[in-house]
Chain A
Amino acid sequence: MNNSLIVLPIVIQFLAGTVLLFFWLKTNTQKVLSGLFSAIALVISIWLFMLVWNQGIQVTQSGNWKAPFGISFVADVFGATMVLISSIAGFAVSIFSAGSMRKERLEFGYFPILHFLIMGLQGAFLTGDIFNLYVWFEVVIISSFVMMTLGGKRKQLEGAIKYVSLNLLASTLFLVGIAFIYGLTGSLNMADIAIKINDIQNRGVINVTAGLFLVAFGIKSAVFPMYFWLPASYHTPPAAVSAIFGGLLTKLGVYAIIRSFTLIFGGDEFMGIIMSAIAALTILSGGLGAMMHQNMGKIFGYLIICHIGFMMVGLGIFTELALMGTVFYLIHDIVVKTNLFMVSGVILKINGTQDIKELGGLYKNYPMLSLLMAIPLFSLVGIPPLSGFWAKIFWIQAGLETKEYILIGFIVLGSFLTLWVIAKMWGEVFWKPGEGLPKKANGIYFDQLSGADKWQWIFPVVFLSIISLYIGFAAENIIVLSQKIAGDLMNPTGYIESVLGIKLLMP
């Protein structure tokens, strides 16, 4: 179905970023406008999702050059879902930023860049062109880099350097990979490549190219042994920035791996082994890192890695069921990780520290807030029937079907480590008596904020917690959705036909 309106999510974020640039220094106007644009973007994403869900894949060709000559934009269920989830996270972070970011940072273009970042993400989810995907990656890298350095504290810059260096390395490898793909197939349109790559005689070169893509996207998704930039940088910027990073950036890498390895490269046996090994070691590294750290930001950072490992399990097993687990978990993870970094921001605001040894008494002093924060924390652990639980059933079953018993063992291990880490955090931060702990200097503490200001901190957490609860309790809906997505991914004929406007001959 041709429908040029599918680029609307990108356009609205582009518009938001551009309009906000004209309100330089008028931070209060920016806050209102950003919230407004994010709300509109959310509505548009819901519309797009419903459209794709009801009417199937939607395609548009930029400049009306027919595929594969121009740049195709494709909204399939997977892409539309990712756009929807990122709009949800974007909306929450926009509100949270309005409450939590310092005025100085806002005066230097924080909001426009936030919208450009989300535009980059959504462009990546909607593009059907491999080079265009690279361009969106560029947008994401540069805007995240600027967001990270905004304010320029030394610790922050140090993290930012590591972040940007390793991500540029990833981009370079990605670009080399694209060059090889273009050299081999003469095309940049992913659907077109998917067909033409089958005619290449020299399978070895394709396998090597697949390896390049794996490493390039692997760096971005922070898997073993390429995750180093994440623990080095995620805990340094303000909570709102960490929230959007933690929720979405690594997931873009996972999205790209899923997309490229289902559409372009089929998984061969060797790739399966590599992916499984990566998955297992990523779970292990993330879990161990989370165990040994005391800083909430770092703990959540390592837990991101651990759970990216979970998602890689689905790619290692590479059956429809396993991918379904990965897609389900991806949806859950974006919501819950965004939320957790905001939670850690609220805690920082309350006590002036994120060190769990120096925190305490939240349960006593903020009972309602503790109850609220328990929702994302326990969703993350996957206490059934909360949202983090369901995907594990699918992975375990998929693992049994393919006899990947070791991976099942690692899923159990990763889940247990997550449980342990979060329970420890709960004990230290919420249960431990807060009296006598040093209160760190903090500018204005949470308690000193006015009621309306407090709501700007709390509302996004409430909003995302409700969505997490929905994912958990109405799991049936998300399962049906993930099933559809995984089915489409394993059989991309529909995608290819829609983009190229042709009918494939079934072999």
Chain B
Amino acid sequence: MIIAVLSGFFFAALLPLLGRFARKSVPLIFSFLPIALFVFFLTSLPLIKGGNTWISYHSWIPSFGIDLSFRLDGLSMLFALMITGIGALVFTYTAYYLKGHPYLDRFYGYLSMFMASMLGVVLSDNLMSMFIFWELTSISSFFLIGFNNEEASSRKSAMTALGITGFGGLVMLAGFVLIGHAADTYSITELLTRPEVLKSHSSYTWIIVLVFVGAFTKSAQFPFHFWLPAAMKAPTPVSTYLHSATMVKAGVFLLARFTPILGDTFWWNTTLITIGAFTMLYAAIHAIFRVDLKSILAYSTISALGILVFLIGIGSEKALLGAALFILAHALYKAALFLITGIIDHQTGSRDVSKLAGLRKVMMPVAVAGFIAALSSAGFPFLIGFLSKEVMYEAGLQFGEWAFLLTAILVLTKILLFVAGFWAGIKPFSGILPNEFQKVTLPSALLWVPPLLLGTLSLLFGVFPSIIEQALIQPVVSSMTGKESPIYLALWHGFNLVLLLSVITLLLGFFLYVFLKPSEKLFSKTLRFENISPENIIETIGSYFSIFAIKWTKFFQNGYLRNYVITILAFLTILTAYRLFGGVNIYIDWKQISVITPSEIIVVVLMIISIFFAILSTSRTASIVALGVVGFANCLFFLFYSAPDLAMTQFSIDTLTVLLFMLVLVKLPKNKTFSSKRIRIRDAVLSLLFGTLIAILTLEVFEEPSSSEVSKYFADNAYLLAKGRNVVNVILVDFRGFDTMVETVVLVIAAVGVFSLMKLDLNPSKKE
């Protein structure tokens, strides 16, 4: 199984080498991979019969419980078949749709990367590897949405999608780590064996909140839905594949996967029902206010995802069965509708549903495919959409005291989706063919066979539900409930409330379709509410955040060196003062301090005078020289304490430093007084505080009786072992000779620096 999942990545990796050849000669060769995988999964169907699972284990990062093990059960089988099956059709369709496109090979590269990642998400048995594949779907989606990379709007849409799903992914990562922390395993199989661990854990609420954010962002639930309509900038095969049939269902998949582990609690059900119900109605209303075919389909997809979230939220066996059927039904009809839209766009150059009409006359096979898809979407009998709708209504009606309200919302959504489906699948083909489309021709069979094939399947499963009943759907429901769940699918349930609702849906839907005409005017009315849409709110937050970013950065990184120094010293002073007065008994024993000699006093006075001179001088050169004097005064202290070598070193270092500074400063503009009096006083206060603190600390440190082991060893052994009379010298050149050697290197480097600063003057007109 690992080969099946990872083959897409290897395939993509081969493309930079072989892509150019394949693109030009045999573009259909790319379809080989998804077809082979589809056949592979199809032949594995018997393995999962009756709720069995097939697990294959591959070690990856054993020290952290992260592995590449895969789990094939009903749920992952359904998705794997959809991913590879629709993948095969989309790959084939693209060969003609983007024929001759210079980046065709890259397109297939991203597409196969996406397919592999998506297979990884649904098949992973390890939460961490699932997350990894999950993020890879976001990234490959980023590249696919931005495929027309020279258009600014494509780039923006790609950013929006990546921003929302990437954010959701990171939040979900925290959720997954939390699950791993709470349950002590990342293995889904293991979690399934003890579902109570998480439900009874104290962090349960946090876990579901974090997982929900991940699922809702990916599956475009309100208020994160807006990236999906924007993502329609991608070429139509991408919209078909990623943004209707597979990737956006990853969130739904995640919820379905977690139902037996996290589900069936008050917060789980309530949140999902609320968000799902709101999203499905909100998006369905939006769908019928659009005129662009792809926008209509995008919003109806969001609505369908809302229905799925809603059904998983209800969580009864019936509802989960409804969800399983609807996932399949939706994938079949929505993929077909997208492919058809692509054909219309490709052949006529328009996607405006208010203008398109009568195309059946020029592309009959496409019209047939559209007709079937629209009927399945509406839920007409003998199509798979009918089955799913019936079960859905039944599940809604069984839901206790809220049954009436929820079923009503569901019916209303379904009516609106009826209209949206008819607009996309029937409207462009009915009526009279306008003049401008007279010359439109039927495209290559590579384009219209895929949607027709999908339609055939909708019809086949709708008429003979027994084909999928036990082989596929039953295992799916079992893996969602976590136990053996017998199911029964039938076309005829007798005269009951569900049938009545179905009839109402169809009648009202048809009524609305006849009387409501898609138009720009209708669309523009909705723009009034633009500024309270989540998209707008999030963008506004984003722009405020940018302003905050600028203010914050400019505040700290203000360009003045002295401000930087002040900030650092203030931080240090506060830190030190807090710790010093918080925990130290300040006590200074003056007796311990050695007697001060007159020569020392002179040197100190000299130092203080130089410091003041350095501060008050208006000339940079004078300041630097004054600082040099401070350094030299320091050397005198070394001399007093019988360390002439040290004094010499310090002397030369100081000289060099002054020289270096001079050379740099010469190239800077003239010294100006920037600071006001207030700032100067502030600086003086801070400096005094800092100096005092360090002085107190120094005295404190001397209070501590320290071990004299090392210094005593030096004194004892300087002559005996190191053969030197001056201890300081011996320390410098022997005990710690390494330090001295390295300091010599420092001098060499400094010398090179001084030399190049003086000599090297690059011609400013040339760069680098």
The 10 closest A-B pairs by CB, nearest first: A204-B584, A146-B753, A431-B149, A204-B583, A108-B756, A288-B549, A183-B701, A228-B564, A384-B132, A186-B707
Q: A212-B576, A378-B139 are in contact. Are A68 and B710 (CB under 8 A)?
A: yes
Q: From residue B601, how far is it (CB to closest CB) to chain A in Å?
A: 22
The answer to whether A63 and B546 touch across the interface, beta carbons within 8 angstroms, is no
Which stretch (A41-49, A76-84, A417-425) binds chain B? A417-425
Is B401 among interface residues, defined by CB-CB distance under 8 A?
no
Residues A63 and B664 in contact in the complex (CB < 8 Å), given A385-B132, A397-B181: no
Q: Does B18 contact A (CB under 8 A)?
A: no
Question: Which residues 403-447 in A have Cβ within 8 Å of B in the complex?
Answer: 408, 412, 415-416, 419-420, 423-424, 427, 430-433, 441-443
Contacting pair B174 A412 (CB below 8 A): yes
> Are A100 and B177 in contact (CB-based, < 8 A)?
no
A-B pairs with beta carbons under 8 Å apart, 27 shown: A17-B745, A69-B717, A131-B736, A135-B746, A142-B750, A146-B749, A149-B664, A149-B753, A149-B756, A151-B762, A165-B565, A169-B565, A183-B701, A185-B706, A187-B709, A188-B710, A204-B585, A208-B579, A226-B568, A228-B557, A291-B549, A348-B768, A393-B173, A423-B163, A430-B149, A431-B150, A479-B63
Q: Which residues from chain A contact B617 at a C-beta distance below 8 Å?
A: none
B128, B152, B553: residue with the most chain A Cβ atoms closer than 10 Å: B553
Tell whether, in the assembled complex, residue B579 and residue A207 are in contact, meaning their CB atoms are under 8 Å apart: yes
In contact, A475 and B61 (Cβ under 8 angstroms): yes
Which of B164-172, B341-349, B383-391 is found at the contact surface with chain A?
B164-172
The residue from A69, A274, A378, A416 contacting B713, defined by CB atoms under 8 A apart: A69
Q: Which one of A205, A226, A427 lies within 8 Å of B158 (CB-CB)?
A: A427
Instruction: Give chain B residues whose Cβ lies under 8 Å from the Cβ of A401.
Output: 181
- The minimal Cβ–Cβ distance linking A191 to chain B, given in whole angstroms, is 13
- A145-160 contacts to B, CB under 8 A, are 145-146, 149-154, 157-158, 160
At the interface, yes or no: A203 with Cβ under 8 Å from chain B? yes
A497 within 8 A of B: no
State the CA gap A289–B158 with chains docked (Å). 23
Q: Is the pair A204, B549 in contact by a Cβ cutoff of 8 Å?
A: no
One digit per residue, 1 when the CB lies within 8 angstroms of any chain A CB and 0 when it does not, for chain B 715-756 equals 001000000000000000011111100110110111011011
Contact A109 B735 (CB under 8 A): no
Contact check, A384 vs B136: say whether CB atoms are below 8 A apart.
Answer: yes
CB neighbours of B173 from chain A (8 A):
392-393, 396, 412
In Å, the complex CA distance between A287 and B181 comes to 28
Using a CB-CB cutoff of 8 Å, which residues 124-145 of chain A contact chain B? 131-132, 135-136, 138-139, 142-143, 145
| Cα distance, A289 to B136, chains bound together (Å) | 27
Q: A69-B717, A108-B760, A211-B576 are in contact. List 5 more A-B contacts (CB 8 A).
A: A208-B584, A285-B552, A285-B556, A408-B174, A427-B159
Supposing A69-B710, A173-B572 touch, asked if A292 and B756 sit within 8 A by C-beta, the answer is: no
A291 lies within 8 A of B546 (CB): yes
B159 close to A419 (CB less than 8 A): no
Q: Give CA–CA (A157, B561) in the complex, Å.
A: 13
Residues of A within 8 A of B694 (CB): 176
CA distance A431 to B557 in the complex (A): 31
B186 nearest in chain A by CB position: A393
Our pick among B106, B131, B549, B762 for the contact of A289 (Cβ within 8 Å) is B549
If the complex has contacts A113-B749, A443-B766, are A363 and B149 also in contact, measured as CB distance less than 8 A?
Answer: yes
Residue B575, interface by CB 8 Å: yes
Shortest beta-carbon distance, B118 to chain A, in Å? 15
CB distance from A116 to the nearest CB of B (A): 6
Measured CB to CB, the closest approach of chain A to B253, in angstroms, equals: 18
List A contacts of B150 (CB < 8 A).
Answer: 364, 431-433
B557 touches A231 (CB 8 A): yes
A348 to B767 alpha-carbon distance, docked (Å): 10
Task: Flag whether A480 is at the interface (Cβ < 8 A).
Answer: yes
Fill in one digit per residue for B599-626: 1 if any A CB lies within 8 Å of its CB, else 0. 0000000000000000000000000000
B760 touches A200 (CB 8 A): no
| In the assembled complex, B567 has its CB within 8 A of some CB on chain A | yes
B-facing residues in A302-331 (Cβ within 8 Å)? 302
Chain A residue nearest to B61 in the complex (CB): A476
**Best-surrounded residue of A21, A166, A396 (most CB of chain B within 10 A):** A396
Verify B546–A135 contact, CB threshold 8 A.
no
Nearest residue, chain B, Cβ from A216: B572
Known: A70-B735, A149-B753, A152-B760. A123 touches B565 (CB 8 A): no
Known contacts A62-B738, A71-B738, A145-B753, A384 near B697 by CB under 8 Å: no
Chain A residues within 8 Å of B749, by CB: 113, 116, 139, 142-143, 146
Contact with A along B223-251 (1 / 0, CB 8 A): 00000000000000000000000000000
Instruction: State which of B106, B736, B765 has its C-beta within 8 Å of the C-beta of A70.
Output: B736
Alpha-carbon gap, A424 to B146, bound state (A): 12
Chain A residues contacting B736 (CB-CB under 8 Å) are: 70-71, 131-132
Kindly report which residue of chain A lies nearest to residue B175, judged by CB atoms.
Answer: A396
Q: Is A229 an interface residue (CB 8 A)?
A: yes
B433 to chain A, nearest CB (A): 38
Bound-complex Cα distance A160 to B668 (A):
12
Docked complex: A202-223 residues within 8 A CB-CB of B: 202-205, 207-209, 211-212, 214-215, 219
Name the distance in Å between B713's Cβ and chain A's nearest Cβ: 5
* Closest chain A residue to B737, Cβ basis: A63
Which A residues are in CB contact (< 8 Å) with B548? 288
The digit string for B692-715, where 1 denotes a CB below 8 A from any CB of A, is: 001001101111101111110110
Q: How far is the CA of A188 from the CA of B697 in the complex (A)?
A: 19
Q: Are A157 and B668 in contact (CB under 8 A)?
A: yes
